[in-house]
Structure 1
Amino acid sequence: MKEPLTSVAALKDRLQELHERTVETPLFNPVFQLSLDLSRQLEAGELSLSQCEGMIAELEVAALQNRCERMTSYVAPVAQDENTAALQASFDSPTFAAFKDRWERPQLHAVFTAHPTFLLPPKQTAALADCASGAGTIDATCVGEERPQVTLAYEHSRAMFAIANAQDARDKVVATLLGHAATQWPGDWHDVAPLPFRFATWVGYDMDGRTDITWSNSIGFRLAEKAERLARYVAQLEKIDSGHPQLSELVPARDYAAERAQDFAADLSDPAALSVAANRLTASDPRKLLSLKGVIDQLEAEAREADQDRAIALKTLTAAMRADGLGMGWIHFRVNAKQLHNAIRRRIDPEGKIDLASKGAVVHLRKAISEVTPLRSNFGALAIEASTATRQFLAMAQILAHIDADAPIRMLIAECEEPATVLAAVYFAKLFGIADKVDCSPLFETESALEHGGRFLDELLAEPEYQAYVRKRGRIAIQAGFSDAGRFVGQLPASLAIERLQGRLAEAMDANGLTDVSALIFNTHGESMGRGAHPTKMADRLDWALSPWAKRRFVRAGIALEPEVSFQGGDGYLWFDTPELALAMLTRIAVLRPNDTDPDAPTDEFYRRTDLSLDFYRAIKEHQRHHLESRTYSRAITAFGLGLLNSTGSRVSRRQSDLNADRDMSLRQIRAIPHNSILQQLGYPVNVIAGVGEAAEGNYEEIAALLRESPRGRELIRLVRAANGLASVKTVAAFGELFNSAYWASRPYRGTETHLTDACEALSEYLVKDDRAGVFRRLASRLRVDAMKLHRLLALLPEEAPDPAREEKRRMIGAAQALRLALLQHMFLRAVSVPVFSRANDVSRDDVLEMVFTLRVDEALAQLRRAYPVSFPQIDQFDLTEPTDWPENADHGYEAIHRNFIEPIDEAYALSRRITTVIANVFGAHG
């Protein structure tokens, strides 16, 4: 290498040149060699961190541009007039009755969840959304912005912004529907009440895995949402008629809700303060609006007498009111099954004698539900309640009594594996008098829950008390989590297991005579392939969550289906960040009709040839299990702790542990999204790809033929190809070389880089005992063997739509990874070169090194700054009459150590985390 590598183009060219060497030396690693080239230049002073920052900024812009192009193609067309035309072209109902039936039930429920995926700083979010909306290219000035702390309030504000755009887009869809109906059926169109989409959120209400959301937060958020929604209704009605008589009710109601929201935003820890806020909310007040039914009826009646344009505007408003109620959308509370178990024991089993997994527990709960007498509650009861689960039901009771009496509330139960857990939720709903407004929804996400979910549903739906409850509600609600399921059994097996579970729900409903209620199936995937979002096109994304095979089970049983999906955090909200994107997304969904399917479609070969497909599924699942249980896989994934990742949410990514615990960190200590994100950052989405090749071994031709002939099989392969197109086993291996003692010992070999001799020798000596080099090599070898088998299978399957940007993406990721590896080497060399002795000699050099190696860099730097202060008491600060000869020399602190070691480590680490964002953007989402 002669010319310094100071541009992304130079990095890509050099990477391509290095790739050619793998032909003669298969074990040669181009990514690591490029990182060595960069590292040598960086340590020789030929390349500065400032120049590295310039290349990273260039990569950031390119990755955002790449993500923009993917987003645009995913929901194209994006222009609003083209989407209106596309929606109109999809109207094919031959009769008004058919049109009315189709559009009066939601095509989809969309839930705006707050999983930690707020990857992009605000400027980058806006630039990406504007670009995807048709604003040209990414402006380079959007990068380099400091990342703000992601708080719960920030997450909530972003959720509300996204929902507001979604509401406006839905209004456009509704207006288009009404205009079509008015033209086609002028005598009947007033009888249609469109409800194409419902929106919901759990931001501020999700208590699973966190203790930082208080009940008053949830009440305050709900009041703020009510005030915001009423303000939007008022603005919409004022646009129709600035003097409309209904404004005299809606405007005061808006102001009243805003005042009460302010009350509950205050500190209510003092009982006196809470009493004042609660009494204001519960008192009678002419401005206290609890239902929109009367408003809707009056506006609908007016619409029948109005001219067509005014009527469409009024009915569009009432459609929004019918969909959202007195909030920005419906809300989902979420608790863990264990929290419910603790709460129910206090009521029916205070001595802890009942096994909640037993038939006996179901018998006890059946009796308790049938005999329960509803209890009154108030905010005082809510404030003093110690049980998390009970507190959530008390909060729901107050919301339904004093904020919105009409909009139902979902109670999601995480890690739900026993029917008794759902019955416990039903008991509490009935105990507090809200069973007619609360949908208790079990979440199936663990391997055990998915494996035994069919039995669970058979038992639950056979319970008379549960049957009476769901008939009163008019729906059965369940939730399937693709994220955790994808982590525990792999994404392909998870999708197929969830599909079978959905089919078993249809069978259980049919067998128990519950076809008169609807099935609401909530699929909580995310935006990335690691969390269950199919990356190729919107049709695949919708089918991946709820396949045509599963939908046909319900249609053939005569069961109304209500599909529901999540749009998770910053990544998911991007689809609704501009009016153009929001309308494009809703239009694609409306045109694809995810709540509908052809019951007479021929059986897909994938389900007919279960002798092949079930073995294929089981083999992938077994392969994924081996990885999850493997010490090698666990150690590699946790080799850097969570230090490769940026903080992307208000919920912690893992439980706290001490320094020594990092070496033995369990994968179960890391939540699903960080786990998936680490796989991205290490270069190989194991939970998507691994096992597919091995599952086909020995039967390539027959498996390939099945996958070719099956629409479901082709969809599976499209997901695998998308992930494999970004995967690099060489990158996985390159991370291991950072911990290779022999590599560091060899760097100054034969007179090269003699200025690094001491540092390399120290690193080499320290890493002799480290296991990570071997761990990464073993993992890379396992992945390579499986990848060879996968490539053999893919060679038998024609690629339907090759990604023209695939090689460009791979080069971009390779350049980014090499640059990051060089920065990590810079950090290692600087850390090992810090002088051993310091003013605070209780600091262990090995502790600091281990912190840096596991990328707990902020902690390491805090220790070093304490050890090497740059400001401390000086002798001349004291006004003393007695002279002193000590200290002999003026002590100027450790400015040089800060300048040469601490600051470069800090800067390099910050740059490395910007590369994290680059890679996530090329993958299309965080995690």
Structure 2
Amino acid sequence: MTLKTVSELTERLQSLHKRTEETPLFNPVFQLSLDLSRLLESGEMTLFDCDRLIAELECDALAARAERLRNLVAPVTPSANDAALRHDFAEDDFAAFRKRWESPQLHAVFTAHPTFLLSPNQTEAVAKAASSDDAIDESVCTATSERPQITLSHEHAEAMKAIANAQDARDRIVSQVLTHAQQEWPQEWSDLAPLPFRFASWVGYDMDGRTDITWANSIGFRLAEKAQRLGRYVATLEEIDANHPLLRELQPAAAYAADRAHDFAADLSDPAALSVAANRLTANDPRQVLSLKRHIDALETEAKDCGGERGVRLKTLAAAMRADGLGMGWIHFRVNSKQLHNAIRRRLDPDSQIDLSSKGAIVHLRKAIEQVEPLKSNFAALAIESSTAIRQFLAMAQILQHVDADTPIRMLIAECEEPATVLAALYFAKLFGIQDKVDISPLFETENALEHGGRFLDALLEEDIYRDYARQRGRVAIQTGFSDAGRFVGQIPASLAIERLQGRLARAMEQNGLTDVAALIFDTHGESMGRGAHPTSFADRLAWPLSPWSRRRFVRAGIRLEPEVSFQGGDGYLFFDTPELALATLTRIAQIRPAETDPDAPKDPFYRRTDLSLDFYRAIRDHQRDHLESRTYSRAITAFGLGMLNSTGSRVSRRQSDLSADREMSLRQIRAIPHNAILQQLGYPVNVIAGIGSAADGNYEDLAALLRESERGRQLIRLARAANALASVKTVAAYGELFNSAYWASRPYRGTESHLTAPCGALAEYLIKDDRIGVFRRLASRLRVDALKLHRLLAMVPNENPLEDRENVRRAIGVSQALRLALFQHMFIRAVSIPLFSRANDISREDVLEMIFTLRVDDALVELRRAFPTSFPKIDDFDLTQPTDFPDRGDEGYEAIRRDFIDPIDKAHQLSLRITTTIANHFGAHG
């Protein structure tokens, strides 16, 4: 049997699949991995052959990802998008045109969750291939997979690059809008102030779950962003008029901001160093610019006077300034509610007498807010502050006072489940005199927050002091998250629960007389089906987190809606990696108009037939909860720890308080993105698919009829189909077989692999008591029962968006999985074959084996290389006069052990991580 090419592996997998007809329990994926393992262990295949196969699989996956990216935002050529936008200018009068283009259709937030999966070269290759109408060829495969260390600074630089491309694309759209208005309404066009998009970032400002971002980092990043944005304004104005009088102010301001950014990039731990940097920033300097209002007015006045192309260009620049201010966009600070609770107790309740979940706490905070007098603060106060939450407010105060006085700042509060938490944030905003510039936004993401969020909003919006604050800001801001929500209640129940919460916000605003302010709803959905974003189209992607039903609640109440979504990390930034993709992405959004909806659209039957839809939602949620609380599910998902995954960001994948837990992990120790990524790698996106089939059991016909008739229902099914098209229960079961003692004991049976008798016997003996084979089998059985019911339901609902080349994609994933399983077996066999003796006797063989079995391979390699050194002192290294007869044998060397055992484990592990990237690319994102 020759399995030297991917096509041969694919043919073999196809033939093995046919055997399931006669033997249902037969596992084609695991059998192919055994075929490959036998070739590998016999020497007929080498790790270099595996490298070549993986390179071909990588190539196909990168091409598939580029094709998927292009299809989502097509057309991608600038001329096609210019034409699409012109075709969309259909309003009959200036008032309607103005209404459409003067309010943001979307706030786009460039976040940096750990999704930097691709190397810079791969990112560039995928984006370039997706940026034209040309056929995607092998040029996408030339990129190397070597990635730099992903630091916070790297993430920030990538975010700024994406935002810069987004700004240029927005400028192009704004220029077209203004040109059209100038042609159609020559007497009125100069009154138009386009603002179709806002951009923001929390990279460098998000303190939730991490302690590695200092306040100086945040100030330094904000100053660097100011310098970059001023530099871009200068470059734009120089292109319009190299002698423009405003350049005499903006050019020195850009240089000044760059100097101050350099100051704050230094080590400021020494009070003397901080004093110098702070005094330079806070000193009265004619180069310091804190507001662009005067510059915007000057550009607008000149544009009105001169008209023509120059007028359009000047107004386009003014529009950019109005949107972004003195930075690359708005910024989002984020803290955890516990951090705020600790801070407010220290300030108002040092003896912990107040229950923050009680009405008494709200009364207490209401009085405190009414009575608080603003305090001045400086950088010394910021430097000595120990409370994370107070430190964030102090940092915001310094930014508003010394960097940008006009641009609002968002304060996101994670795990916010009490109205008192929002009032605590409002207290600190008022304490430091910044309540008129800070939008406090609670995050609803946990099951408890989503379930009780309606009552939370009712209680908060009933407070006069909060309503006064909301009117001062002009908006009520909330955040709904799909990462933890999707992990703990499942993606579909999370989306439906978030939708209901959004409806409750509309009702609460209407009942409390807040229809005169906007509703800013930040949905932090991600890029893959596993993190809340819909994979089938950009229209679905935007409607998934903020459905037409939710939007109608606000439109009918007369509340202006400001939708906001995240583009997360390397996956999200791909949409803006080239000018062509950025323009295509923003043009699609402008055409879809996510801030609008038809208030008179017929009611979707999904919301009318709540007897069916609510039961459907609850049944899926309960099924997902059963998985989450199940020892079986938890043990299977954590069986390999995080060893299947590449490092994809500067934030740790395990919660920092749990780093000492090694042998067993709780699902709550793993963050949401790695959790979803593990599901991808095991072959079954449980938190997307599981429970849908079981929820339909006993009521298939009625439920299928509802889903067919409902747009929201069909959208749910499109998501499920997209996930199911890539899912394989057999693959989940195959990973369990790695821990099957009987498999290892039987493998050399009848002399087929007699050279493996000793290592297979050792593995069989070691794994006799291991529980993972049973865990995976139980999980696979449960998933299979549910999947059978899902397939019955899907057969009753038309497939609106079939995955092109579905079977080839499934086979490519299957081959990748089989090859990785063979590499894992190679590591296991090599690990148990290492000699028992070593130069260092303080190492436990069992510990090293368990490290390999849980894919803590890097840790295991450190121990093995310490135990079997290849470089150590020799007798001939010493120049001694006294003779010696010992050692009487040649000095033992461990080069052969390194070559035959340790290095192959290392190489196999590195190859397996490349397969991780390959599989994630077929899913369209990491996690």
TM norm structure 1: 0.99
- Secondary structure of 1:199's counterpart equals strand
Q: Which residue of 1 aligns with 2:85?
A: 87
Structure 1's 143 and 775: CA in aligned 2 closer, same or farther, altered over 3 A?
Answer: farther
1:337/1:415 contact within 8 Å kept: yes
The one-letter amino acid paired with 1:57 is A
Moved more, 144-153 or 120-129: 144-153
1:659/1:851 contact within 8 Å kept: no
1:635/1:663 contact within 8 Å kept: no
Q: Which residue of 2 aligns with 1:697?
A: 697
Q: Give the length in aligned residue pairs.
A: 925
- Secondary structure of 1:200's counterpart equals strand
Whole-Å Cα distance in 1 between the matches of residues 751 and 332 of structure 2?
A: 65
Whole-Å Cα distance in 2 between the matches of residues 177 and 780 of structure 1?
A: 55
Deviations 1:543-590 (A, max 9, x none): 101000000000000000000000000000000000000000000000
Moved more, 126-135 or 520-529: 126-135
- Give the deviation of 1:888 after TM superposition: 1.0
Q: Which residue of 2 aligns with 1:596?
A: 596
Whole-Å Cα distance in 1 between the matches of residues 492 and 114 of structure 2?
A: 23
The one-letter amino acid paired with 2:119 is P
Q: Which residue of 1 aligns with 2:458?
A: 458
Whole-Å Cα distance in 1 between the matches of residues 468 and 656 of structure 2?
A: 44
Whole-Å Cα distance in 2 between the matches of residues 789 and 663 of structure 1?
A: 36
Deviations 1:227-248 (A, max 9, x none): 0000000000000001111100
The one-letter amino acid paired with 1:180 is H
Deviations 1:274-300 (A, max 9, x none): 000000000000000000000010111
Structure 2 unaligned blocks of 5 or more: none
Deviations 1:670-723 (A, max 9, x none): 000000000000000000000000000000000000000000000000000000
1:515/1:558 contact within 8 Å kept: yes
Q: Which residue of 1 aligns with 2:688?
A: 688
Whole-Å Cα distance in 2 between the matches of residues 51 and 681 of structure 1?
A: 22
When the two chains are superposed, the root-mean-square deviation of aligned CA atoms in Å is 1.0
Q: Which residue of 1 aligns with 2:123?
A: 125
1:649 equivalent in alignment to 2:649:
yes
Q: Which residue of 2 aligns with 1:21?
A: 19
Q: Which residue of 1 aligns with 2:105?
A: 107
1:638/1:662 contact within 8 Å kept: no
- Give the deviation of 1:656 after TM superposition: 5.8
Q: Which residue of 2 aligns with 1:531?
A: 531
- Give the deviation of 1:657 after TM superposition: 8.5
TM norm structure 2: 0.99
Moved more, 659-668 or 382-391: 659-668
Q: Which residue of 2 aligns with 1:58?
A: 56
- Give the deviation of 1:143 after TM superposition: 4.2
5 Å-filtered alignment, 1:805-824, equals 805-824=805-824
- Secondary structure of 1:139's counterpart equals helix
- Secondary structure of 1:545's counterpart equals coil
Structure 1's 661 and 260: CA in aligned 2 closer, same or farther, altered over 3 A?
Answer: closer
2:125/2:143 contact within 8 Å kept: no
- Secondary structure of 2:22's counterpart equals coil
Moved more, 802-811 or 208-217: 802-811
The one-letter amino acid paired with 1:127 is A
Whole-Å Cα distance in 1 between the matches of residues 660 and 41 of structure 2?
A: 31
5 Å-filtered alignment, 1:368-517, equals 368-517=368-517
1:926 equivalent in alignment to 2:923:
no
Structure 1's 190 and 307: CA in aligned 2 closer, same or farther, altered over 3 A?
Answer: closer
Whole-Å Cα distance in 1 between the matches of residues 167 and 908 of structure 2?
A: 43
Q: Which residue of 2 aligns with 1:749?
A: 749
5 Å-filtered alignment, 1:16-415, equals 16-134=14-132, 136-139=136-139, 142-415=142-415
Whole-Å Cα distance in 1 between the matches of residues 248 and 891 of structure 2?
A: 74
Deviations 1:358-384 (A, max 9, x none): 111101000000111000000000000
2:870/2:895 contact within 8 Å kept: yes
1:64/1:138 contact within 8 Å kept: no
Moved more, 167-176 or 93-102: 93-102
Whole-Å Cα distance in 2 between the matches of residues 807 and 443 of structure 1?
A: 40
Whole-Å Cα distance in 2 between the matches of residues 684 and 138 of structure 1?
A: 29
- Give the deviation of 1:141 after TM superposition: 5.2
1:165/1:576 contact within 8 Å kept: yes
Whole-Å Cα distance in 2 between the matches of residues 658 and 378 of structure 1?
A: 35
Whole-Å Cα distance in 2 between the matches of residues 341 and 659 of structure 1?
A: 25
2:121/2:144 contact within 8 Å kept: no
Deviations 1:590-623 (A, max 9, x none): 0000000000001000000000000000000000
- Secondary structure of 2:799's counterpart equals coil
Whole-Å Cα distance in 2 between the matches of residues 576 and 90 of structure 1?
A: 22
Whole-Å Cα distance in 2 between the matches of residues 822 and 664 of structure 1?
A: 24
1:419/1:459 contact within 8 Å kept: yes
Q: Which residue of 1 aligns with 2:880?
A: 880
The one-letter amino acid paired with 2:831 is A
2:161/2:577 contact within 8 Å kept: yes
- Secondary structure of 1:882's counterpart equals coil
- Give the deviation of 1:808 after TM superposition: 1.3
2:417/2:444 contact within 8 Å kept: yes
Moved more, 140-149 or 180-189: 140-149
Q: Which residue of 1 aligns with 2:706?
A: 706
Whole-Å Cα distance in 2 between the matches of residues 429 and 656 of structure 1?
A: 28
5 Å-filtered alignment, 1:800-879, equals 800-879=800-879
1:334/1:413 contact within 8 Å kept: yes
Deviations 1:112-147 (A, max 9, x none): 000000000011000000000026424265344322
1:8 equivalent in alignment to 2:1:
no
The one-letter amino acid paired with 2:277 is A
Deviations 1:134-182 (A, max 9, x none): 2642426534432211000000000000000000000011011111111
Whole-Å Cα distance in 2 between the matches of residues 239 and 251 of structure 1?
A: 14
Structure 1's 658 and 715: CA in aligned 2 closer, same or farther, altered over 3 A?
Answer: closer
The one-letter amino acid paired with 2:401 is A
- Give the deviation of 1:663 after TM superposition: 4.0
Moved more, 607-616 or 889-898: 889-898
Whole-Å Cα distance in 1 between the matches of residues 31 and 101 of structure 2?
A: 59
- Secondary structure of 2:443's counterpart equals strand
- Give the deviation of 1:67 after TM superposition: 0.8
- Secondary structure of 1:910's counterpart equals helix
Q: Which residue of 2 aligns with 1:576?
A: 576
Moved more, 886-895 or 294-303: 886-895
Q: Which residue of 2 aligns with 1:554?
A: 554
Structure 1's 380 and 668: CA in aligned 2 closer, same or farther, altered over 3 A?
Answer: same
1:67/1:921 contact within 8 Å kept: yes
Structure 1 unaligned blocks of 5 or more: none
The one-letter amino acid paired with 1:417 is E
- Give the deviation of 1:478 after TM superposition: 0.1
Whole-Å Cα distance in 2 between the matches of residues 657 and 41 of structure 1?
A: 44
Deviations 1:200-219 (A, max 9, x none): 00000000000000000000
Whole-Å Cα distance in 2 between the matches of residues 658 and 611 of structure 1?
A: 43
- Give the deviation of 1:837 after TM superposition: 1.1
Moved more, 837-846 or 435-444: 837-846
- Secondary structure of 1:566's counterpart equals strand
Whole-Å Cα distance in 1 between the matches of residues 467 and 774 of structure 2?
A: 56
- Give the deviation of 1:659 after TM superposition: 10
- Give the deviation of 1:875 after TM superposition: 1.1
Whole-Å Cα distance in 1 between the matches of residues 700 and 441 of structure 2?
A: 41
Moved more, 223-232 or 141-150: 141-150
The one-letter amino acid paired with 1:740 is N
1:178/1:189 contact within 8 Å kept: yes
